Structure 1
Amino acid sequence: MQETPKELQVAEEAARAAGAITLRKFGELSTREIHRKDFRDFVTETDRACEAEINRIIRAAFPEDGMLCEEGTTAEARSGRTWIVDPLDGTLNFIHSFPVFSISIALKDEREGLTHGVVYQPVQDELFTAEKGRGAYLNGRRISVSDRREEEGWLIATGLPFKEYHYMEAYMAMLQDVVRVSAGIRRAGSAAVDLAYTACGRFDGFWEYVLYPWDFSAGVLLVREAGGTVTDFRGETDVYRRRSIIAGNPETHPLLLGMAGKHFPEAG
Structure 2
Amino acid sequence: MLITDSELAVGAAAAGADVVRSMFGESLRRFGKDGDDFATEADLEAERVIIETLRAARPGDAVVGEESGRSGGSTGRTWLVDPLCGTLNYAVRNMLVAVNVALRDGGDVAVAASADPFANEIFWTDGDGAYVRTGSGDERLEPSAASRLVDFNLDPPFPNAPGFRAVDLLGDPRFVERFRPRVVSTTLAVAWVAAGRRAAYVTDGHLRDSVHFAAGIALCRAAGCVVTGIHGQPLHTGAGGLLVAADEETHAELLAINSVEGRRTDL
Where do 5+ consecutive residues of structure 2 fail to align? none
Identical positions, percent:
27
Change (3 A) 1:229 1:160: same
Instruction: Look up the match of 1:54.
Output: 50
Q: Write the distance in 2 (CA, Å) between the matches of 1:145 and 1:162.
A: 28
Matches within 5 A, 1:222-233: 222-233=219-230
Change (3 A) 1:224 1:166: closer
Query: Secondary structure of 1:265's partner?
Result: coil
Instruction: Look up the match of 2:84.
Output: 88
User: How far is 1:131 from its partner?
Assistant: 1.3
Change (3 A) 1:12 1:165: closer
Instruction: Look up the match of 1:110.
Output: 106
Indicate if the aligned counterparts of 1:90 and 1:101 stay in contact, CA closer than 8 A: yes
Moved more, 215-224 or 251-260: 251-260
Give me the TM-score of the superposition, normalised by structure 1.
0.86
Matches within 5 A, 1:209-228: 209-210=204-205, 212=207, 213-228=210-225
Change (3 A) 1:80 1:242: farther
Instruction: Look up the match of 2:265.
Output: 265
Instruction: Look up the match of 1:184.
Output: 180
Q: Write the distance in 2 (CA, Å) between the matches of 1:165 and 1:237.
A: 17
Q: Write the distance in 2 (CA, Å) between the matches of 1:240 and 1:123.
A: 35
Are 2:193 and 1:195 equivalent residues in the alignment? no
User: How far is 1:265 from its partner?
Assistant: 3.1
Change (3 A) 1:5 1:116: farther
Q: Write the distance in 2 (CA, Å) between the matches of 1:239 and 1:88.
A: 24
Counterpart of 1:25, as a letter, is: M
Matches within 5 A, 1:73-84: 73-84=69-80
User: How far is 1:54 from its partner?
Assistant: 0.9
Change (3 A) 1:9 1:159: same
Give me the TM-score of the superposition, normalised by structure 2.
0.86
Task: Pick the aligned partner of 1:72 from 45, 68, 78.
Answer: 68
Q: Write the distance in 2 (CA, Å) between the matches of 1:56 and 1:171.
A: 37
Task: Pick the aligned partner of 1:157 from 123, 132, 151.
Answer: 151
User: How far is 1:136 from its partner?
Assistant: 0.5
Are 2:19 and 1:25 equivalent residues in the alignment? no
Moved more, 70-79 or 226-235: 70-79
Moved more, 39-48 or 116-125: 39-48
Moved more, 21-30 or 199-208: 21-30
Q: Write the distance in 2 (CA, Å) between the matches of 1:66 and 1:47.
A: 19
Q: Write the distance in 2 (CA, Å) between the matches of 1:173 and 1:242.
A: 17
Q: Write the distance in 2 (CA, Å) between the matches of 1:162 and 1:237.
A: 22
Which structure has the highest helix share of the two?
Answer: 1
Moved more, 67-76 or 48-57: 67-76
CA deviation string 1:105-126 (max 9, x = no partner) = 1111114x11201000011101
Counterpart of 1:14, as a letter, is: A
User: How far is 1:11 from its partner?
Assistant: 1.4
Instruction: Look up the match of 1:206.
Output: 201
> What is the aligned-residue RMSD (CA, Å)?
2.4
Are 2:171 and 1:173 equivalent residues in the alignment? no
**How many residues are matched?**
255
Matches within 5 A, 1:131-146: 131-133=126-128, 135-139=129-133, 140-146=138-144
Instruction: Look up the match of 2:32.
Output: 36
Indicate if the aligned counterparts of 1:232 and 1:244 stay in contact, CA closer than 8 A: yes
Indicate if the aligned counterparts of 1:86 and 1:215 stay in contact, CA closer than 8 A: yes
Change (3 A) 1:5 1:57: closer
User: How far is 1:164 from its partner?
Assistant: 5.2
Q: Write the distance in 2 (CA, Å) between the matches of 1:88 and 1:9.
A: 20
Counterpart of 2:15, as a letter, is: A
Where do 5+ consecutive residues of structure 1 fail to align? none
Indicate if the aligned counterparts of 1:39 and 1:163 stay in contact, CA closer than 8 A: no
Change (3 A) 1:57 1:241: farther
